[in-house]
Amino acid sequence: MTLENKLGLTDAIELAHAEERLTKKRALELYDKKILDQYEVGTFAGLQQIHGYLFQDVYEFAGKMRTVNIAKGNFRFAPVLYLDEALKSIDKMPQDTFEAIVEKYVEMNVAHPFREGNGRSTRIWLDNILRREIGRVIDWSMVDKEDYLLAMERSPVRDKEIKSLLKEALTDKIDDRQVYMKGIDASYRYEGYSTYRTEDI
């Protein structure tokens, strides 16, 4: 079933292509227009701003907390009933070290606050925290898709693997447009979107 969208598309593949093109364009604007610098860092409000900006052309629910329960495979994300409470707790989590930041990221992934587009938004959110707090970002092009997905799947139980994987990909090139663009492409590839390259949009 295709998600209801602003484009009136009913074909899932057509929607995926349009979504990738439109949201990658917005992801680039977040960087080029320095919009990310204006957003709250490390809060759900900041993540809402990122999600709202990325998906504004595609979904009515852009930046809005989900109202349905969702699962991926056998994993059920935070139930809607407790979502608001979970997000308030995540806001209060420390973000002063790499380890603490990744722990916060793992919790936000478990919360999965949006109907769609959680991974892509939350990876930008994570980099924004790392940039502000420790002067580093992740070079996502160095993070293997399978390794990442497996580590994230296991992270609610044991986060050592995801910490180690992301630590190895840290870079101090926090203002490098190329690193950002390659990162967006890698982030989208994790979710199965690889029709367009950010630099060609």
CATH class for domain 12-61+70-200? Answer: mainly alpha
Pairing of strands 71-72, 75-76: antiparallel
Domain coordinates in residue numbering, the chain: 12-61+70-200
**Per-residue pLDDT, 74:** 84
User: Could you give the CA distance from residue 71 to residue 67 in angstroms, rounded to a whole number?
Assistant: 13
What is the value of pTM for the model shown?
0.97
Does the pLDDT at position 1 exceed 80?
no
Q: Would you call 29 helix, strand, or coil by DSSP?
A: helix
Does the pLDDT at position 73 exceed 90?
no
Which stretches of 93-175 are DSSP H helices? 98-111, 118-134, 145-154, 160-168
Angle between helices 145-154 and 160-168 (to 10 degrees): 150
How many residues appear in the chain?
201
Q: Assign 72 a pLDDT band (cuts: 50, 70, 90).
A: confident
Q: Nearest Cα to 72, choosing from 116, 13, 11? A: 116
pLDDT 10s digits, 79-137: 999 999 999 999 999 999 999 999 999 999 999 999 999 999 999 999 999 999 999 99
Does the pLDDT at position 2 exceed 90?
no
pLDDT 10s digits, 149-179: 999 999 999 999 999 999 999 999 999 999 9
Q: Would you call 75 helix, strand, or coil by DSSP?
A: strand
Q: Would you call 76 helix, strand, or coil by DSSP?
A: strand
Q: Give me the chain's average pLDDT, please.
A: 97
